[in-house]
Structure 1
Amino acid sequence: MTAVETRRKPNAEQRRRQLCDAAIALLAEEGGRGLSHQKVDRRAQVPDGTTSFYYRTRSALLRGVADQIVYYDIEFFTGAFADEAGAETLLSILAEQMLLLREEPHLARTRARLELTMLARRDSELASGFQDVFQSYRALAERLVIGLQSGGSPPDPELVGEQAAVLLTYLSGLVFGFANGASEPATRIHIECQLRSVITGVAVEWGNAHAPISDSTGVRAK
């Protein structure tokens, strides 16, 4: 049996992953307008028409890429999604993972994700996959917020929701900055401190806004 005969062709799943990885690289470098079936074929170094065979339309290709990025996101944050991870562990994992977003292949995936997020505004099916992952991140943020609360009384659900929302906004800004070449904050400790500051800062402002009014002047008690 010759070497050619023994050479295994990639199965359908492997081929789709290869094509989606090529598409991710193109999205990261050229944006949505630079993505085409032919360019994916060239980037993946496969015969012409291969991408069209697996993804008949541009929409199908984009959804395939979105599914692949969602898979990478879940894989990337496996440690954080683990139920047994405590608040301090979550904080450390999130900070470390944020730093890794500046490195390849995570940087290209981040840039491709941002491009797809913009395209998803006009594609409900494309948006639905990202929405599912966002809900997972929301639950993760709430776990972190609750775990870092001080005191023995149960946290106010509305406060937890506000803290989680602001925390996700901060993380989104950090991701956007890294995707566009920002280099700060530069250390895991720095990011951990900022995460804590976001969570505690929202709690302080929440407490001020919900403090009882001391008298008829409308001044809230300190």
Structure 2
Amino acid sequence: MVSNPRRRTTLLDAGIEVLARLGARGLTFRAVDEHAGVPTGTTSNYFASRDALLRELGDHVFVRLAPDPAVVAERLSAPSSRDLEVLLMQEILERARADRPGYLAMFELRLEASRRPELRDAFTARYRANLDEITAAHVEGGFPGGATTALLLYLAMNGLLLEHLTLPGVLPGGDEGLPELVRQLVETIVPG
């Protein structure tokens, strides 16, 4: 396999865009090449198979969607509270708005894993590790509520993002009402 980290990242970002636009069935080496604006055959030089590309996309989507570490450090320097939790969840919403294709690709990868056992194990392990990190940050960070509260927030935010990104007309209040909906979600789940 070819080793050019910048080109690999370009191809992975193009793969995310293709997944978001065409779904897993539309994810081909040729489609990634075209979206990345590289010569035909480039993607196949970097990834041994379509499954290898999907597995790497499963990891790359977490890198792409991760919050800025400096912003996280700044936020977590404030006292842990339900209000801070509201702000953090609203920032997740803002990141989803800013990178809609990234989040749609994440949902598409989950669906593909549900149909393909060879991907399911790898994706389950990655998502489970993410949930464990989120839970640990919530509990060890001293936020109100325990591990169950962290789990409920995770599930509720995933549901909210899925609704908003796939069928934006479903949630009341439209796009402008989402920050308030997130506030209500957090205030309902997180103890005062």
Secondary structure at 2:177's aligned position in 1? coil
Q: If you compute each CA radius of gyration, which structure gives the higher value, 1 or 2?
A: 1
Deviation at 1:161, TM superposition (A): 2.6
1:191 equivalent in alignment to 2:182 = yes
Q: 1:128 aligns with which of 114, 125, 129?
A: 125
The 8 Å contact of residues 96 and 188 in structure 1, kept in 2 or not, is answered as no
User: Once the two structures are superposed, what CA deviation does each residue of 1:23-62 show, in whole Å capped at 9, x if it has no partner?
Assistant: 1111001111010111111111101111000001011111
Deviation at 1:198, TM superposition (A): 1.8
Match of 1:57 in 2: 49
Q: How does 1:28-67 map to 2 (within 5 A)?
A: 28-67=20-59
- What TM-score comes out, normalization by structure 2 length? 0.79
Superposition RMSD in Å: 2.6
The 8 Å contact of residues 102 and 178 in structure 1, kept in 2 or not, is answered as no
Percent of aligned pairs sharing the same letter: 22
Match of 1:212 in 2: none
Deviation at 1:138, TM superposition (A): 2.4
The 8 Å contact of residues 40 and 51 in structure 1, kept in 2 or not, is answered as yes
Secondary structure at 2:48's aligned position in 1? coil
User: Once the two structures are superposed, what CA deviation does each residue of 1:140-176 show, in whole Å capped at 9, x if it has no partner?
Assistant: 34457x4236xxxxxxxxxx23222222111111111
Unaligned runs of 5+ in 2: 169-173
Match of 1:6 in 2: none
Amino acid at match of 2:133: S
Quote the Cα distance in structure 2 between the aligned partners of 1:90 and 1:80. 12
User: Once the two structures are superposed, what CA deviation does each residue of 1:59-79 show, in whole Å capped at 9, x if it has no partner?
Assistant: 111122122111123335763
Distance 1:165 1:133, change over 3 A: closer
Deviation at 1:93, TM superposition (A): 2.5
Secondary structure at 1:75's aligned position in 2? coil
Match of 1:25 in 2: 17
Quote the Cα distance in structure 1 between the aligned partners of 2:166 and 2:150. 24
- What TM-score comes out, normalization by structure 1 length? 0.70
Amino acid at match of 2:185: Q
Quote the Cα distance in structure 2 between the aligned partners of 1:46 and 1:32. 20
Distance 1:44 1:57, change over 3 A: same
Match of 2:143 in 1: 147
Deviation at 1:130, TM superposition (A): 2.7
Q: Mean Cα displacement is larger for which, 120-129 or 182-191?
A: 182-191
Match of 1:116 in 2: 109
Match of 2:171 in 1: none
Q: Mean Cα displacement is larger for which, 191-200 or 55-64?
A: 191-200
User: Bigger relative contact order, structure 1 or 2, given CA contacts below 8 A and separation 6+?
Assistant: 2
User: Once the two structures are superposed, what CA deviation does each residue of 1:94-147 show, in whole Å capped at 9, x if it has no partner?
Assistant: 2133134123xx110000000111223321223322332222222234457x42
Q: 1:75 aligns with which of 67, 70, 84?
A: 67
The 8 Å contact of residues 141 and 168 in structure 1, kept in 2 or not, is answered as no
* Residue-pair matches, total: 178
